[in-house]
């Protein structure tokens, strides 16, 4: 626990000299950490989120949704490496924005809404502010940053619906991370899509 808190403090201290901006280009996010180290800019996530290689964040508090957070470049746009999937929600320009699941019919058919899923007068689901549902790029989990900063091993990607979530050909005897196997499966199932979680503490 001490090591994890120390690591978190070190990460936050190292980024203290930088500002991380929401899409309005003025509001600064607190305690965010960049997903990538590169020129031009990087999407960021708060410390308690899992970072994905598509630049999105996966929250591990209920309701386990994806989100768009801040960016190291206040300009945003493609040149910055940050994409605002919530651009049709004016109120989200100065804050983080959840990306709740709208529908999932199988691999390659997952669609999300910006900010909120609501119900119209006919009882049909719709996205907030009349915006359209959209797909997001497939992604891998970014290890050794944010919530997984202390993880020291990785497994193959787990399916959220797998009955045997740990691949039989994977060795885990040397895995030492601060997540339990039960936590990993629960997070994968909560998200509702086959991203899965790739760290465990012990199978003993």
Q: What is the pLDDT of residues 9-42, one digit of tens each?
A: 444 444 445 799 999 999 999 989 999 987 788 9
Q: Provide the residue range defining the domain that includes 167.
A: 151-204
Residue 158: the pLDDT is 42
Does residue 197 belong to any structural domain of this protein?
yes
Q: What is the mean pLDDT of residues 195-203?
A: 34
Assess if residue 159 is contained within a domain. Answer: yes
Q: Do you know the residue count of the chain?
A: 204
Please count the structural domains in the chain. 2
- Is the CB of residue 198 less than 8 Å from the CB of residue 154? yes
Does residue 140 fall inside a structural domain?
Answer: no
- Residue 146 within a domain: no
53 in any annotated domain:
yes
Whether residue 136 is contained in a domain is answered as no
Whether 34 contacts 46, CB under 8 Å: no
Given this model, what pLDDT does residue 154 score?
52
Q: Decide which of 95, 130, 165 is a domain's last residue.
A: 130
pLDDT for 154-185, tens place per residue?
544 444 444 444 443 333 444 444 444 333 33
Is the domain of 164 the same as that of 194?
A: yes
Specify whether the CB–CB gap between 143 and 151 falls below 8 A.
Answer: yes
**Token pair listed for 177:** 């991370």
Per DSSP, helices labelled H in 98-196 are 181-191
């Amino acid at each position: 626990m001490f090591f994890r808190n120390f690591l978190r403090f070190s990460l936050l201290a190292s980024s203290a000299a930088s500002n991380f901006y929401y899409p309005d280009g003025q509001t600064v996010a607190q305690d965010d950490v960049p997903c990538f180290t590169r020129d031009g800019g990087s999407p960021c996530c708060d410390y308690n989120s899992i970072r994905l290689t598509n630049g999105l964040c996966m929250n591990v508090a209920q309701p386990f949704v994806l989100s768009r957070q801040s960016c190291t470049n206040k300009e945003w746009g493609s040149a910055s490496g940050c994409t605002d999937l919530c651009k049709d929600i004016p109120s989200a320009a100065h804050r983080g924005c959840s990306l709740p699941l709208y529908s999932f019919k199988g691999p390659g058919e997952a669609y999300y809404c910006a900010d909120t899923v609501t119900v119209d007068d006919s009882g049909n689901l719709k996205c907030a502010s009349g915006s359209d549902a959209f797909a997001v790029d497939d992604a891998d989990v970014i290890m050794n940053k944010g919530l997984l900063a202390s993880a020291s091993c990785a497994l193959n990607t787990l399916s959220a619906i797998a009955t045997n979530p740990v691949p039989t050909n994977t060795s885990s005897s040397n895995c030492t991370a601060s997540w339990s196997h039960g936590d990993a499966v629960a997070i994968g199932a909560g998200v509702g899509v086959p991203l899965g979680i790739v760290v465990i503490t012990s199978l003993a």
